[in-house]
Amino acid sequence: MLDLPRPRKGPRLFPGYTQRPTSTFHRAGRDRMSFEISPVFSVPFAQDFLPDAAALNPQLRALILSRESEGMRYANPNPSLKQQPGVFESDFNLFAWQDACIQQLRQFCWATLGRTIRDLNGYSAEEMKQLQIFSHTWFHVTRQGGFTINHTHPMASWSGVYCVDPGTTPEDRPESGVLRFHNPHHYSNLFLDAGNARLRAPYHHGTWNIRFQAGQLVLFPSWLQHEVMPFYGDDERITIAFNCWFGMKNA
């Protein structure tokens, strides 16, 4: 299991992944190159840290806990996953709230997502102006024992999670509240021997864990299986999540 490293500055793709799809292998006899290993079927992740998170997160936390306290008024009326004890999931229009802290976070998330999409798809500035974003956005408040089962997000291309407060991590529960992604190469470990048992990232088997820090935003393809491990802190783990799909104006 690997932890995603914190970047030095700005959003970027994590180590081991190419920035845009390219073919690095060459036909025999043409442009012959020396030995190389390439991540042919890579999964793009991106992350960034909100610059003023220390000021904004307390506002987000207070607002979210206040809305949670109103119960069903802000709860998701039709959750797609079975809601586990200890988890509160809001309805899916969070970024429509006009509270200043929500709109500031929305701007940050969409800017980071736009930068990721532009880089991976090679869109021009003019094409980016034509890009239309549609989304579902919500918050989770997780208390002791709460978790989210393994799932994907159908009918969306990009998903993201922003950490308002990771909550406390007991020393004897290091995986408390971890966001865990599962390797999509489902047949990669059907046969294991000394030739593939210790593959390095990004070729490794198994899972990829994120231990959130406050202010951290993670973006990933919506089709990728993921879950939240049981949270064992004595406070709250608070996150904001979204699913997005896109269109092109005049297309």
Question: What does the pLDDT look like over 101-130, one tens digit per residue?
Answer: 999 999 999 999 999 999 999 999 999 999
Q: Is residue 233 part of a domain?
A: yes
Q: Which residue type does 44 have?
A: P
Give the up-direction half-sphere exposure of residue 149: CA atoms within 13 A in the CB hemisphere.
7
Kindly report the length of the chain: 251
Has residue 28 been placed in a domain?
no
Domain-embedded: residue 31:
no
Beta bridge partners of 217: 48, 162
Q: 197-251, pLDDT tens digit by residue?
A: 999 988 989 899 999 999 999 999 999 999 999 999 999 999 999 999 999 998 7
Give the CA distances from residue 13 to residues 121, 160, 234, 241, in Å, rounded to whole numbers and listed in that order: 13, 14, 33, 19
Cα torsion angle, 226, 227, 233, 236, sign: positive
Which percentage of the chain shows pLDDT scores above 90?
80
Mean pLDDT of the chain: 89
| pLDDT for residue 251 | 72
DSSP code of residue 72: G
Q: Identify whether 226 is part of a domain.
A: yes
Does residue 174 fall inside a structural domain? yes
Q: How confident is the model at residue 81 (pLDDT cuts 50, 70, 90)?
A: confident
CA distance 53 to 62: 14
The model's pLDDT over 173-212, given as tens digits with 9 standing for 90+, comes to 999 999 999 999 988 989 999 999 999 988 989 899 999 9
Mean pLDDT of 71-84: 90
Whether 25 is covered by a domain: the verdict is: no
CA nearest neighbour of 106 among 248, 249, 240: 240
Written as one letter, the residue type at 74 is: Y
Residue in the structure block whose two tokens are 């004890």: 85
Instruction: Please state, as a whole number, how many other Cβ atoms lie within 10 Å of the Cβ of residue 165.
Output: 21
Domains: count for the chain: 1
Q: 233: domain CATH number?
A: 2.60.120.620
**Residue numbers of the domain that contains 86:** 41-186+199-248
Quick one: pLDDT at residue 33? 74
Tens digit of pLDDT for each residue in 9-48? Answer: 433 333 333 344 444 445 545 567 799 999 999 999 999 9
Q: For residue 5, is pLDDT > 70?
A: no
Question: What's the pTM?
Answer: 0.86
Query: H helices within the chain, ranges in order?
Result: 53-68, 100-121, 125-130
pLDDT at 30: 56
Q: What's residue 31's pLDDT?
A: 62
User: What's at 208, amino acid-wise?
Assistant: W
Whole-number pLDDT of residue 23: 47
Question: Would you say residue 223 lies in a domain?
Answer: yes
- Locus of tokens 């030739």: 195
Task: Give 207's strand partners.
Answer: 182
Q: What is the pLDDT of residue 179?
A: 98
Give me the mean pLDDT over the 73-87 stretch: 91
Q: Identify the band that residue 3 occupies on the pLDDT scale cut at 50, 70 and 90.
A: low
Contact 145, 230 (CB under 8 A): yes
Amino acid at 59: Q
pLDDT at 11: 39
Residue 192 lies inside a defined structural domain of this protein: no
